[in-house]
Amino acid sequence: MIAPETGSAPIRIDSQFDSGNIEVLSIDGANARLAIPADHMSEFRQWFHFRVTGAAGREIELRIVDLATSAYPEGWPGYRACVSEDRDFWGRADTSYDKDADGGTLTIRYTPASDVAWFAYFAPYSMERHHDLVAEAAASEGVTYRHLGQTLDGQPLDCLEMGDGGTQVWLYARQHPGESMAEWWMEGALECLTDPADPVARALRQKCRFHIVPNCNPDGSRRGHLRTNAVGTNLNREWHEPSADKSPEVLAIRNAMDETGVDFAMDVHGDEAIAAVFLAGFEGIPSWTDALGDSYYRYQRILERRTPDFQTAKGYAVSKPGTANLSMSTNQLAERFGACSMTLEMPFKDNDDLPDAEQGWSPERCKLLARDCLAALLEWLEDGGSA
- Would you name the residues annotated as active-site residues? 345
Q: What is the per-residue burial (b if ≥16 Cβ within 10 Å, else e) of 355-374?
A: eeeebbbbbebbbbbbbbbb
Rounded-to-integer distance, Cα 324 and Cα 106, Å = 35
Rounded-to-integer distance, Cα 128 and Cα 57, Å = 31
Rounded-to-integer distance, Cα 253 and Cα 173, Å = 12
Report whether 64 contacts 97 (CB < 8 A): no
Identify the CA nearest to 277 among candidates 199, 355, 382.
355
Report the sign of the C-alpha dihedral through residues 344, 348, 350, 352, in that order. negative
Backbone phi, psi, residue 158, to 5°: -95, 140
Report whether 82 contacts 122 (CB < 8 A): yes
Q: What is the DSSP string of 279-326?
A: EE--TT-TT--HHHHHHHHHHHHHHHHH-TT--SSSSPPPPPTT---T
Q: To 10 degrees, the CA torsion angle through 239, 71, 90, 362?
A: -50
